[in-house]
Chain A
Amino acid sequence: MTTSPAFVSDPTITVERMSKWFGQKVAVSDLSCSFGTGLTGLLGPNGAGKTTLLRVIAGLLQPSDGSVTLLGENPRRKPAVYAAVALVPEEDAVYGFLTARQLVRYAAQLSGTSTDRVDQAIDDVDLGDAADRPISGFSKGMRQRAKVAAALVSDPTVLILDEPLNGTDPIQRANLIKTFRRLAEERTVIVSSHVLAEVERMADRVLAIVDGKLAAAGNISAIRQAMSDIPYRVRVETDDARGLAGPLMTVDHVSSVAVDGGTLHIETNDLSALGRSIPELARSTDARVTAFEPEDESLESVFRYLVRRR
């Protein structure tokens, strides 16, 4: 069994050397990974191949090469597997003439599950007040929540969400993230999003895709650690920035130092060594250090590095 962070030990979804191209355009190239219980964030710039990967996993697209199994089956050959799967696609398209309640009920009927859960699914996405209004009059965020409710009603084992937070306001977003995290305790939940801060908040594991290839996998810190060729950026607050900057420039593992008032922006290849050097240098220069914080642990920084590196 592989120990690569792109794979999980007990997968519900397996992607093996999968490629997908549309004419001359390669959307996903030789990508291998797996998904299991928990919430995985799928990250990448627009056109990176996230939606294509999710649509191949959901069986909407046929891989051009390689294979994908969903709960051990090829869903295109065995639709019965969809009893345990729900997809929230990225497109805004929904049946506008239905009310939210009718849409969720329709989803339950199509999935062969009881319609008793309709009210619960609507409550899960806070759509109770608007449940009996036609979806055509909904805002984008409300449509998104109606689609999520339609996915939740069948109580799926695998939940695939393509940009589910699009158009939602901060409170709705927080509630949806809470719902996804709760569901991910016992289910496989995949969420693609360009709202990086939210992926960071909700995902236990991140797969970063750039130009149709898997650029990195794992948790945010692990991905950052793996990129040893890219310097870490650290912010240091001190009462003597200029006094501390001089000696820092002579330290081997420090590649650059920038002074911005009482703040130093330092680039280093060895974060722990810098952590040891700063107190020593502060003592020798009588500087008082009030803050020492890595600047680029956020997903956005990691993602920016990944895109730039390719």
Chain B
Amino acid sequence: MTGFLPIVRVTLRQLLGGKRLIVLGLLGAIPAVVVWLATANRLSSKMLETYNESAIPTLFLIVMPITSIVLGSASLGDERRDGTLSFLVVRPIPRSVITAAKLAAAALAAVAVSAVAGILASVAVSIRASDWSTLVPTVVGLAISAGSYTAVFLVLGHLTSRAVLMGLVYLFLWETGISFAAPSLANISLFRIGLTAYTGMLPESQTVLAETLGSLTPGAGGAAVKMLILGALAIATAAALLRTRDIT
């Protein structure tokens, strides 16, 4: 695919350059600090419970979504706002390849930042508990949710310059508030897509996170399929927008 890899490379530099990576890196360190403090003087048997009550909400409701919203929105949105989109569009590349490359770059960046945050938090608890069972489920769960978030915010970032604000409103009103009101509302929740993967891979976490999961069934396969469907829809929608909307 002509252009796919060059677009991914340049977009990664665009997204992770300058102060953005430092700010997101500092944000990513928070769960590790939280879980390190929270598990101090705890019994080994309570370590996993503490991890699920402190690190998982911080990772899935703060670090991963904020990172993914910022990077997803910026991937195409910054090009539009900065006026560099014409550099990409006046090329013999199908629009779907441009949007797929943009999504791939944003998802890679968001997954990398979220995964590092997850690994740090998981390592923090694993050292104390001498149990490394949380590491892979945390990374997989975060990666699936980060992929889902970036897919949605790739499109929103292309549509509006207020995508980050909209994302934060969605995050703090819906994800952390309204979606807990009824079990069925959990279906319309992006962070829960990854959380079902996490709980599917780490069944002992299901008791603590049962209320958060609502009506969702734990399982990594279904979560991955949901993320892939969201990704495909985002690529198609953003490509259609590139074809039909004016690039000013």
Asked if A and B are interacting partners, one says yes
Write out the residue numbers on chain B whose beta carbons fall within 8 Å of the beta carbon of A112.
2-3, 92-93
- Say if the beta carbon of B94 comes within 8 Å of chain A: yes
Pick the residue among A59, A91, A94, A106 that contacts B6 (CB under 8 A).
A106
Contacts of B82 in A (CB 8 A): 93
Chain B residues within 8 Å of A75, by CB: 90
Which of B92-149 touch A at CB < 8 Å? 92-95
If A87-B86, A97-B13, A106-B10 touch, does A111 touch B247 (CB 8 Å cutoff)?
Answer: no
Query: Residues of B contacting A98 with CB < 8 Å?
Result: 10, 13
User: Is the CB of A58 closer than 8 A to any CB of chain B?
Assistant: yes
**A175 nearest CB across to chain B (Å):** 23
**A82 CA to B97 CA, complexed, in Å:** 15
Distance A112 CA – B83 CA, assembled complex (angstroms): 22
Partner of B14, one of A55, A59, A95: A95
A85 at the interface (CB under 8 A from B): yes
Is B88 within 8 A of A110, CB to CB? Answer: yes
Report the minimal beta-carbon distance from A145 to chain B, rounded to whole angstroms: 15
Q: Mark A32-75, 1 if CB is under 8 A from B, else 0.
A: 00000000000000000000000100111110000000000001
- Using Cβ atoms and an 8 Å threshold, which residues of chain B touch A111? 91-92
Task: Pick from B2, B17, B90: contact of A59, CB below 8 A.
Answer: B90
Among candidates B14, B90, B93, residue contacting A87 with C-beta atoms closer than 8 Å? B90
Q: How far is the CB of B206 from chain A (nearest CB, A)?
A: 45
Q: Is A109 an interface residue (CB 8 A)?
A: yes
Specify the chain A residue showing the minimal Cβ separation from B88: A110
For A59, what are the chain B residues with a Cβ–Cβ distance below 8 Å? 89-90
Does B244 reach chain A (CB closer than 8 Å)? yes
Task: Verify B86–A110 contact, CB threshold 8 A.
Answer: no
**Which residues of chain B are within 8 angstroms of A86 by Cβ–Cβ distance?**
90
A109 with B246: CB separation less than 8 A: no
User: Is B86 within 8 A of A58, CB to CB?
Assistant: yes
Alpha-carbon separation in the docked complex, A94 to B84 (Å): 6
Residues from chain A with Cβ under 8 Å of B83 in the complex: 89, 91-93
Q: Which residue of B lies closest to A109 (CB)?
A: B6
B84 engages A95 (CB within 8 Å) = yes
Using known A-B contacts A94-B84, A95-B14, determine if residue A60 contacts B92 with beta carbons closer than 8 Å: no
Partner of A62, one of B13, B95, B244: B244
Question: A160 — nearest CB in chain B belongs to which residue?
Answer: B90
A249 at the interface (CB under 8 A from B): no
* A46, chain B: closest CB distance, angstroms: 16
Q: Which residue of A lies closest to B7 (CB)?
A: A110
* Bound: A281/B45 CA distance, A: 116
Q: How far is the CB of A213 from chain B (nearest CB, A)?
A: 21
- Flag if B94 contacts A61 (CB, 8 Å): no
Determine the chain A residues whose CB is within 8 A of the CB of B13 once the complex forms.
Answer: 97-98
Out of A58, A80, A97, name the residue touching B92 (CB < 8 Å): A80
Is B248 an interface position by the 8 A CB rule? yes
Please give, as numbers and ranges, the residues of chain B lying within 8 Å of A89 by CB-CB distance.
Answer: 83, 86-87
Mark each residue of chain A from 283 to 305: 1 if its CB lies under 8 Å from any CB of chain B, else 0.
00000000000000000000000
- Considering the complex, give the chain A residue whose CB is closest to the CB of B2: A112
Q: Which residues of A contact B17 (CB under 8 A)?
A: 97
**Whole-angstrom CA separation of A145 from B89 in the bound complex:** 20
The answer to the question of A122 belonging to the interface, with a C-beta cut-off of 8 Å to chain B, is: no
Kindly state whether residue A170 has any CB partner on chain B within 8 Å: no
Residues of A within 8 A of B91 (CB): 79, 82, 110-111
Q: Are B244 and A60 in contact (CB under 8 A)?
A: no
Q: Decide if B42 is an interface residue (CB 8 Å cutoff).
A: no
B243 beta carbon closer than 8 Å to chain A: yes
**Cβ contacts under 8 Å, B10 to chain A:** 95, 98, 106
Say yes or no for A253: interface residue by CB 8 A criterion: no
> Taking CB as reference atom, which chain B residue is nearest A87?
B90
How many Å from the CB of A68 to the closest CB on chain B? Answer: 13
Nearest chain A residue, comparing its CB with the CB of B91: A110
Provide the residues of chain B in CB contact with A80, threshold 8 Å.
Answer: 92
Contacts of B89 in A (CB 8 A): 59-60
A48 to B59, CA, bound (A): 53
A residues less than 8 Å from B92 (CB atoms): 79-83, 111-112
Shortest CB–CB separation between residue B22 and chain A, in angstroms? 15
Shortest Cβ distance from A179 into chain B, in angstroms?
A: 20
* Additional A-B contacts beyond A61-B247, A62-B246 (10; CB < 8 A): A60-B89, A60-B246, A75-B90, A82-B90, A82-B91, A89-B83, A110-B3, A111-B92, A112-B92, A112-B93
Give 14 pairs: A residue, B residue, CB < 8 Å, sorted on A.
A58-B86, A60-B90, A60-B248, A76-B243, A81-B92, A82-B91, A83-B92, A89-B87, A94-B84, A95-B84, A97-B13, A106-B6, A110-B3, A112-B2
The 4 A-B residue pairs with the shortest CB-CB distance in the complex, in nearest-first order: A93-B83, A91-B83, A83-B92, A109-B6
